[in-house]
Amino acid sequence: YLRIAAPSMAPIAIAVLVILLQYAIKTFDLVRALTNGGPGISTALPALVVYDFMFQRAQLGRGSAAAVLLLLSLLVVLLPYYGYRQWQAHRERARG
């Protein structure tokens, strides 16, 4: 099963992960307008934390650090996906 089914499902799983990651980043406005990250921090998203540090608390250093950490976490997911897509394209070109 792992040698047959898992490799055929891997591209779909990766694409779904990337789409869900984009959706999580794009929901900032909904969370901000509807709940403002509450109750407590139950609906706080990373982008909302960056916004809170920079514009609500006026802590630009912490907000910038949170934004850099958000960027690095996105790169952890997107760079392997990009490398996989490049490898797949190279393999297709080699086949002819």
In tens, the pLDDT along 3-58 reads 888 788 888 888 888 888 778 777 777 787 788 777 877 777 888 888 889 988 89
- CA–CA dist 56, 52 (Å, integer): 5
**pLDDT beyond 90 at 65:** yes
The domain of 80 spans: 5-95
- Please report which helix (H) or strand (E) contains residue 52, including its range: none
Place of tokens 């997911």: 77
Looking at the structure of the chain, the number of domains it has is 1
pLDDT at 75 over 80: yes
- The secondary structure element, H or E, covering residue 36 is none
As a whole number of angstroms, the distance between CA 72 and CA 36 comes to: 24
Q: Report how far residue 86's alpha carbon sits from residue 21's, in angstroms, rounded to the nearest whole number.
A: 20
Q: For 69-92, what is the mean pLDDT?
A: 87
φ/ψ region of 37 (left if φ > 0, alpha if ψ in -120 to 50, else beta) reads: left
Region 63-77: mean pLDDT is: 89
pLDDT of residue 28: 76
